[in-house]
Structure 1
Amino acid sequence: MITFNKIALSGAPNARDLGGYETTDGRRIKPKRLLRSGELSRTTEEDRRILTEEYNLKTVIDFRTDTERLDKPEIGIPGVEFIHLPIIDESTLGITREKPAEREMFGDLFGELAKKNQSPEEYMASVYQSICTTDFSLKQYGRFFEILLNQTDGAVLWHCSAGKDRVGLGTALLFLALDVPQEIIIEDYLFTGTCLQAEIDAAASLLAPRMPDVDTASLVQCLLGVRRSYIDTLFDTISRTEKPVSEFLRDTVNLDKQKILDLKKLYLENK
């Protein structure tokens, strides 16, 4: 069991500090260096003060697409660099926009799934499979690591919309590079469901009147929540390559042995 370091931001319920997680060799991730979150457009002035004054935030990496950014623009923070790094292109977007209030989007998506005779679970599996194997997405994660390698001071925060799919996979790749055990990677990923449960419940309530014949609670939980099978897509992808994790990271996101050593030097405490 691990301790989750939630950051108390009223406008970003899925924000947390990855400091303290233990690696296979007994080292720990440095606190106030690596932060994951959902989108920041609802953050308050106090939230932004916490990030800058208490966490020394220096860089924000936005994994969202252009469409998402136009709909919910970033709020600038003095002294913080914002980097746009979309992990997927518009055609692959689908539910990873993760906008619980958009009932029309869910209705349209459910209709498309019915036409294809595809379950929500199968849809989510296809989204994760695409992100794990598409050259565009993997190259963008490679750029993510280059940014981390140049972050010598302060904290870096990366986010997408809800901070679960694109952020979840990017965080898992980072954990693999830092030698965080798989069971901790999975626990951290699944904790997102706890952080987002209130928003998931609210989305189901909004959708229910529009789709009275559908178990909207189960549907929204599947699409906006997290499941072990989703993150297992990454581990299954690695397993199919029949390569050690280090070689997978080298061949997919351009993390060679020296870069991995540099990441550990930057973000792990000394023994």
Structure 2
Amino acid sequence: MGVKQLFDLTGQVALVTGGSRGLGLQMAEALGEMGARLAITARKADELAGAKAHLEGLGYEVETIVCDQSKFDQVPGLVDQVLARFGTIDILVNNAGATWGEKAEDYPDAAWHKVMDLNVSALFFLSREIGKRVMIPKGRGNIIVTASVAGLKGTPPGMNTIAYNTSKAAAVHFARTLASEWGHYGIRVNAICPGFFPSKMAGGLIEKFGQALIDRTPLRRIGGEEDLKGLVVFLASDASRHITGQAIAVDGGASLI
């Protein structure tokens, strides 16, 4: 098989959670460009409608599903809707996430649960649902988790994101553990660990620490609108068919320091 064929996703179905904006939309664009049929989900119908128009304008086939994954009873229905449209799910990009900033000693219980529910519990429940209903029965599948470099090391003083960091460390180990458990089913599981990218979630921290973040990054830049595309296609495709259980940082080298 030629290299171009290894990266080809023509006809495969990719579900991207949190796919209406930011990193999720960037990854959906990349998967669609390589031929995948797209299902994207998010909480807000208006943002999904905008993303759908954008992706269809690029020529991609798109289904949108409004879903709040922190309401765990909505997860089976989400899978039902994707299967009703496309009949299968080949690639799951677990990208939906939340954060909350507060000093650890003052961190609200509700904020802790909000972050953990979406970043850890919903990640597991959706992967389990698709695994047992779709990927395990057909003997193949590909799960990609959006973790974070914040799950690989601590963050500088003043960022105060203990729940987020903890949840993303859990996401990394979730990918490693599920890769070990489900490898014999032909299912691969890997984690992408972005550094700072312009997004609604990271916007406040970038505004507060912007130049300091750049100064402590070897490549002297933060992430851009194209910087996750190559990796998500690589991990979703046969180009990485012998790679599973890995966590790959995309942070300009910041986690090296």
TM-score (norm. length: structure 1): 0.36
The structure with more strand, counted as a fraction of residues: 2
Higher relative contact order structure (alpha carbons within 8 Å, sequence separation ≥ 6): 1
